[in-house]
Amino acid sequence: MNETGLDGFRRYTWWVVPGSNAIVLILFTGEWVLDGDVPAPARLFSAGALVVEVAAVLVLLTLRLRAGERIRLPAGWPVAGALAGAVLAACALPLRNYGLWAVGPAVMVAVVATYLEPRARRRLILGATVLAAVPGGVVSLLADDGRLLYATLFPPGMTAFVSWAVLGPLWAWDIAGRLEEARRISAELAVKDERLRFAAELHDIQGHHLQVIALKSELAARLVETDPQRAVAEMGEVRQLAADALRDTRAVVRGYRRTSLDDEITNATRVLASAGIDARTTLEPATIPEAARHLLGLVMREAATNVLRHSTAREASIEYRVSSGTACLRVSNDGAGPGPDTEGTGLRALAERLEAGGGVLEWTRTDDRFTVSASIPGSSR
C-alpha cells in the first residue's frame, strides 16, 4: 500500500490495534502483579508471562498491518503468546479473579483470528467465547462463593468484546488497503489506455501520410523524365505531406489533434485520384457530434490507406449519409489484395474504438471487392 497516502491512518490503526491491546494487558495484569496481597510466585510468573504476551501482540499485529490480509500466521510468536496467556489465566483463576484470568487468552484469540479466513475466524471466536464460560463457572461452583453468574458470563463477554475491538479497526484497514490497490490499478490502466490511444493516433497519422508520400515519390520518379513539371508538382505535394505529418504528430503529442471527416474524404478522393483510382463519392451533408465525426474520419483515413497499401484498385466508392439518427460511412474498392491489417492498430483497433462510442465497424470481401462499413449514432446522447 502507498504509505505516503496512508501514513496517518497507519499510525492511528497501530495505536488502536496493537497499542491499545498492549495497554489493556499492562493495565489489567500490571496492577495485579504489583498487588502485595497476591502470592509472590503468582506475581512472578504473571510478570514474565505479561512481558512475553505483550511482545507477541505487538509483533503479530504489526506484521498483520504491514503485510495485509493475505499473510499467513507465522510460527513461534503465536505459540509463545498463547502459552503466556495460559500462564496468566492459570495464575489468576485459582485465586478466583474472574475479571482478570480471561484477559490474556481473549487477546491472543483475537490476535490469532486476524490471520485466519473469515469462516475459520468466526469458528475460533465463537468457540473461544463459549468455552470461556466453563473455567470460571467450574471454579465458582467448587468454591461455592456465590459469584457463579459473574464468573460464567464475564469471560465470554470479555472474549467477544476484545475480538470486536481488534477485528473492527483491522477490517477498516483492509478495506482501505483494497481501495488503495484499486486506485493504483486504475492509475496503471489509465496510463496504458493513454499509451494505446497515442499509438493508435500515431498509426493513423504516420501510416496514412507515409503511404501517400511513398506513392507520390514513386510517381514523381516515373515522371521525372517524361513530365518534369508534374514531377516537380508531385514532389511539392510530398513536401507538404511531410510538413502535415510533422504538424499532426506534434498535435498528437500535445493532445489536441482531431480528425475531420470532411477533410479526410476530400484528401482520400484526391490521393486515390493521384494513384489512378477512380474515386466516386456519394455524400449527404449533415451535422453530427464532433466525437462521431472524429471516429468516422479515422475510419476514412484507415480505409483509404488500406486501398493504397493492399489493393490494385481501379475504382473505389465512398458513401456517407445520416439516416434515422445514425451516421453511416461505406468505403468499397475492387482489386482487393491479400487483405488489410485487421489486427493491432488497424481495422480491429478502430472497431473497438467505435464500439466504445456506441458504433459498429465491419468489413467484408466479395470476390475481389473489399468493403468497410462504419455506423455510429449521429445525435448527441
The predicted structure's pLDDT at residue 194: 57
Q: What is the separation, in whole angstroms, between the first and last Cα of the chain?
A: 39
Q: How far is CA 266 from CA 32, 161, 228, 262, 352, in A?
A: 93, 76, 26, 6, 25
The predicted structure's pLDDT at residue 301: 83
Closest CA to 104 of 165, 22, 172: 22
- Let me know if domain 259-381 sits in CATH 3.40.50.410: no
Please say whether the beta carbons of 245 and 209 come within 8 A. Answer: yes
Residue 289 amino acid letter = P
In the chain, what are the domain boundaries? 3-186, 259-381
The predicted structure's pLDDT at residue 156: 93
Sequence-distant (≥ 6) Cβ neighbours of residue 371 within 8 angstroms: 330, 331, 332, 363, 364, 365
Q: How far is CA 71 from CA 64, 110, 112, 243, 262, in A?
A: 7, 16, 12, 58, 59
Phi, psi for 321 (deg, rounded to 5): -155, 165
Phi, psi for 2 (deg, rounded to 5): -80, 105
**C-alpha cell read off for 103:** 484477559
Low-confidence ranges of the chain (pLDDT < 50): 1-4, 256, 341-344, 381
**Angle between helix 40-67 and 148-202 (nearest 10):** 20
The full length of the chain comes to 381
Q: What would the pLDDT profile of 286-322 be if each residue is shown by its tens digit? A: 788 888 888 898 888 888 888 887 888 889 999 999 9
